[in-house]
Amino acid sequence: MVDGFLAEIGKRFAERWFVLLIVPGLAYVAVLYGAVSLGHGHAFDLPLLVRTVQTQLTGLGRDPVTVVVVLLALLLAAAAVAAFVRSLAVVVERCWLLSLRGRPITRIGRRLRLLDERIQGEYHGLRADLLWPRAWLLLTDQQRLPVQTARTGIDDAAQSYCWGLLYLLLGVAWWPAAVFGAGFTVAAWISARRHTQAYAILVESVIDTNQSQIAAALGVKLPHGVITETEASEINARLSKGRPSS
């Protein structure tokens, strides 16, 4: 039973890896090939692209070893590009959250800052950034699912944004790629904002509806049934562990 379970997990992981990495990576490598083959002057000359592909495939067909090597090289190139995009997406998300002189520079950053301000305003200075990791541990799998979905949506949007940037760069060799890349980055940015809005609402809702459970888990009593200034100060002090709470 255990072997079967592990085999199923491995199968699903392989399928997800293929879909998330290889497929978009191969698509980009294919567009890159087309861009280099056509250039700006023959941007939509599909017959020329077909003839170029046929000529190269004919040459490769005479040597099976070369075919295998080329296929492996394509897979490795696709995986490398996709891995680069995943790493770049982390940088992009951090850029979205950058602040200049204490003020977020993007709407995504401002929405998450507003979340923290709303929690502090409602609960007398309670620090959402300190509280949320602990509150998350108290949630059931069913309660976590919508939050995870929203958070995954932000990650996926960041990756889509990075793919758009790569296609924009490819526009140097083939201008239609720049048009596609621009549309992709705009769509990804809109998606990131939408998922960030959903994520912020869900986090705030979790804290609103679970404050008694959260306080109990931290050993803080709520005489009034809700977090007041006294309990907020106690929770902040306990979670900051001696560090400044502001």
So what's the pLDDT on residue 9? Answer: 35
So what's the pLDDT on residue 37? Answer: 87
So what's the pLDDT on residue 2? Answer: 37
pLDDT by residue for the chain (246 residues), tens only, comes to 334 433 433 444 445 555 666 788 999 999 998 888 888 888 788 888 888 878 877 766 667 777 788 888 888 899 899 989 999 999 999 999 988 888 999 999 999 999 999 999 999 999 998 999 999 999 999 999 999 999 999 999 999 999 999 999 999 999 999 999 999 999 999 999 999 999 999 999 999 999 999 999 999 999 988 999 999 999 999 898 755 555
So what's the pLDDT on residue 3? Answer: 42
So what's the pLDDT on residue 21? Answer: 66
Amino acid at position 245, single letter: S
The rounded distance, in Å, linking the Cα atoms of 118 and 105 is 19
